[in-house]
Structure 1
């Protein structure tokens, strides 16, 4: 749907009761192999508090490349990168970091190594666990990783959580369905913007998603195709995936 003033995505803010409205962005950036200036413009225009990156740089001087992206978008590195096999978390200075952890998943012979970038952060009076993920291209391994992701959320022992990433599967598939059975699929709950995330040149499927636990209020979620400052040319040049932007209200947790 076209984005107009009447359906604009809420801006980040702190409520009088200590709850927080945050913007979260999930983006497969293909190891910064595309137009980094276009990518920077897209991220900045989205004004995110958290960025859940997939395919972050993983090899030579990967920290330098990730730090440059963070600096260019007025964000800081939170967790992940090569130490999580590609998933990365960036955050704004609005976030107070409680803890971070990078996790590598079991490696199957002949398949790509996968991992999770995780953190627990606070926004005002709201405490939230966050996980960036990029699941396998192989169906049974992907399904097992979806289960590991749900187990990791339970182990984080947080009152509310947000998961985002490249699921490598459409809604209705067994792995996507496994996540959606226990978490809110934010696009399905409050669709906003456009739906399809792949490919950037020919969007025809939704394989990237933002999920949230039941305590999180979803205010809107989708591809920011008509967001002010985001051009079609930049979306096509920045990566082979389109980003997913969501606005969420986190309850104050004390």
Structure 2
């Protein structure tokens, strides 16, 4: 199954195929070796993490997640209230910024981890996001997400996140109207991001901006060295993996 997804590649014309993984890791409260086996098996260039540790010694946990996954920390964590971006050494980090969103009293603080990364001659703006459980706040945050995506100033963009909303929800559909929903554009692998036995949901997704070619996107299956038990033990979400062809920047 994983072999069907195009590999990471820098093309002769300067464009790049980039593999991006979006994954809610539930603050690494579960089986971390299983979690990092899943990430490694997906062979991502970029990981948009949600619910990274954000309290005591959070930087140590973020560094462990990156190291054991064969990646490096780009930005985020507690400074973005949970979203985190990891990448492999193929990525050139051109810009980073962590954003805290307006907070509704009584609800969790939310934020975005944002970065502009270079791959060959391609530049890709990336946001890792985790939207609110509150429908009203979530809808407002979806608009802020689109605004911050534009503010990155990158010619091509992508968002990986836990949106706490299914297709048909106001926030999810607002994003899908402005961006390419990876699964709907080029479905690959599994559709639902809830674990087997849990209510079927697709609240985790990858959205790509104009000009990015989605080559495949979905929940990976048949990962080498990863068992179904690993996927259940790693966290309470399933990962979403996308292969994206990003044009060379002018």
TM-score interval w.r.t. the shorter chain? over 0.9
Which segments of structure 1 move beyond 3 Å, counting only runs of 4 or more? none
How far residue 200 of structure 1 moved from its aligned partner, in angstroms, is: 5.3
Which of residues 218, 231, 237 in structure 1 aligns to 2:227?
A: 231
Residue of structure 1 equivalent to 2:111: 115
Q: Does 1:39 pair with 2:20?
A: no
SS in 1 for 2:114: strand
3-state SS of paired residue (1:143) = helix
CA deviations on 1:53-108 (whole Å, 9 max, x unpaired) are: 00000011000011011011110000100000000000000000111000000011
| Residue of structure 2 equivalent to 1:174 | 170
Are 1:83 and 2:79 matched, yes or no?
yes
The aligned length equals 250
State whether residues 182 and 217 of structure 2, in contact with CA within 8 Å, keep that contact through their aligned partners in structure 1: yes
Q: Contact 1:22–1:248 (CA<8 Å) still a contact in 2?
A: yes
Structure 1: which 5+ residue stretches go unaligned? Answer: none
CA separation in 1, counterparts of 2:19 and 2:114?
17
TM-superposed CA distance for 1:189, in Å, is 0.4
Task: Give secondary structure in 1 for the equivalent of 2:214.
Answer: strand
CA contact (8 A) 2:2 2:42 kept: no
Deviation, structure 1 residue 228: 2.8
Task: Give the alignment's TM-score, normalised by structure 1.
Answer: 0.96
Structure 1 residue 158, shift from structure 2 partner? 1.3
Gap change, CA 1:108 and 1:192, over 3 Å in 2: same
Q: Is the 8 A contact 1:200 1:242 kept in 2?
A: no
Query: Is residue 61 from structure 1 mapped to residue 57 from structure 2 by the alignment?
Result: yes
The alpha carbon displacement at 1:194 in A equals 0.4
Aligned-pair CA distance for 1:199: 3.6
Q: Distance in 1 between matches of 2:161 and 2:225?
A: 23
Determine whether 1:165 maps to 2:165: no
TM-score normalised over the length of structure 2: 0.98
Residue aligned with 1:94, SS: coil
